[in-house]
């Protein structure tokens, strides 16, 4: 896949094939995160990589999935993530850490997808439980978790003003995204194109 295709076809994946991901593969994903831009180059992020089955099971119980899907839903046994990258931020090191995490996480998820590996970033997580499971010391904020594995579901974009994603009867996820014409202003706020001097 070329880069544009990787970027435009990446979707959050929440059901996974049970094919293991090697630690070498996962460290290489983190390397892509490490090389992302960082405000003032302060580099406040560290990562815990988990691919041990027992620890994956524990992490799973600290995660909340697809909040718009009702009734409450989570991946069934046999379709849960096979690895996680837990993103930590060193407290007090950078005022830009949230931006840095976004950039790093996207690098990680795009590189994964370029290898056919799906992912979902999760912020609705039990941080205290994860701290306990992984032995994360004080001084580090548990920012978010990236769940990983080969996709066992399909997700497609809908051009729409809605925000709530939904699943159809075939299990395909539909993710609304605002139309390009509704978010772009050409040369001046309010100009939608065609008359850049007005």
Ligand X SMILES: Cc1cc2nc3c(=O)[nH]c(=O)nc-3n(C[C@H](O)[C@H](O)[C@H](O)COP(=O)(O)O)c2cc1C
Backbone dihedral region of 43: left (phi > 0), alpha (psi from -120 to 50 degrees) or beta? Answer: left
Site for ligand X in 76-105 (CB under 6 A): none
Residue 121 sits in the site that holds ligand X (CB under 6 A): yes
Q: Which is nearer to ligand X, 124 or 190 (CB)?
A: 124
Site for ligand X in 41-80 (CB under 6 A): 64-66
**Could you tell me the two tokens for 4?**
């544009």
Sheet containing strand 166-167, edge to edge, reads 155-159, 173-177, 166-167
Q: Which is nearer to ligand X, 10 or 30 (CB)?
A: 10
Q: Judged by CB under 6 A, which stretch of 6-14, 31-39, 77-85, 185-193 contacts ligand X?
A: 6-14
CA 190 → CA 45, 63, 176, 187, 198, distances in Å?
A: 38, 41, 23, 9, 10
Residue 156 parent element (H or E) = strand 155-159
Least separation in angstroms between residue 191's CB and ligand X is 27
Residue 120 sits in the site that holds ligand X (CB under 6 A): yes
Q: In whole angstroms, give the CA distance from residue 65 to residue 169.
A: 19
Which residue among 20, 78, 92, 123 contacts ligand X (CB under 6 A)? 123
Footprint on this chain of ligand X (rule: CB under 6 A): 11-12, 14, 64-66, 120-124, 155, 165, 175
């Amino acid at each position: 896949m070329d880069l544009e295709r990787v970027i435009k076809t990446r979707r959050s994946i929440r059901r996974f094939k049970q094919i293991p991901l090697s630690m070498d593969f996962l460290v290489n994903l983190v390397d892509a995160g490490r090389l992302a831009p960082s405000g003032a180059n302060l580099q406040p992020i560290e990562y815990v990589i988990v691919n041990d089955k027992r620890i994956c099971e524990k992490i799973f119980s600290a995660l909340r999935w697809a909040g718009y899907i009702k009734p409450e839903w989570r991946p069934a046994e046999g379709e849960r993530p096979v690895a996680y990258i837990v993103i930590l931020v060193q407290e007090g090191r950078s005022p830009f850490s949230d931006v840095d995490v976004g950039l790093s996480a996207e690098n990680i998820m795009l590189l994964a997808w370029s290898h056919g590996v799906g992912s979902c970033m999760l912020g609705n997580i039990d941080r205290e439980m994860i701290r306990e499971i992984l032995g994360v010391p004080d001084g580090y904020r548990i920012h978010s978790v990236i769940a990983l594995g080969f996709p066992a579901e399909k997700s497609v974009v809908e051009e729409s003003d809605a925000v709530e994603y939904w699943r159809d009867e075939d299990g395909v996820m539909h993710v609304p995204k605002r139309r390009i014409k509704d978010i772009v202003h050409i040369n001046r706020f309010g100009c939608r194109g065609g008359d850049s001097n007005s």
